Amino acid sequence: MYLDDDKDASKLANELLQQKLVGHISIDFNNNTMMMEKGKVKQQVCSLITAQTKAMLFNKILAFINENYSGSIKLYSAPITQSNDTFAKIIREETEKV
């Protein structure tokens, strides 16, 4: 998740954990990104949230963000294909049951 505001990133991370929508989060503040916009390279500094959760919670996370935050948050999902038991246990036990 890419956010323009550091305070929103911390608030969102806390809310997602409290709602048990994610089991683990890290935030990279002052993350430099580059993207194409209208044929030109655009540079931006933002906060990047990397969150680990269950695939079946993605739509709930998306709905939560859409209901509580502006549409400027960029969000994508990538599967966790492998992890050790310690990490898998966090996701199994600390996220909402599906």
pLDDT tens per residue across span 12-40: 999 999 999 999 999 999 999 999 999 99
Contact 95, 21 (CB under 8 A): yes
Can you give the pLDDT at residue 72? 82
CATH number for the domain that contains residue 33? 3.30.70.120
**pLDDT of 94 strictly over 80:** yes
Q: Is the model more confident about 90 or about 71?
A: 90
Three-state helix/strand/coil letters over the chain: CEECCHHHHHHHHHHHHHCCCCCEEEEEEEEEEEEEECCEEEEEEEEEEEEECCHHHHHHHHHHHHHHCCCCCECCCCCCCCCCHHHHHHHHHHCCCC
Which amino acid type is present at position 16? L
**pLDDT of 71 strictly over 80:** no
Can you give the pLDDT at residue 19? 97
**pLDDT of 68 strictly over 90:** yes
Can you give the pLDDT at residue 23? 97
Model confidence, pTM: 0.90
Our count of domains for the chain comes to: 1
- Among candidates 50, 49, 48, 52, which has minimal Cα distance to 86? 52
Expressed as residue numbers, the domain containing 17 is 2-94
For the stretch 80-89, pLDDT in tens is 999 999 999 9
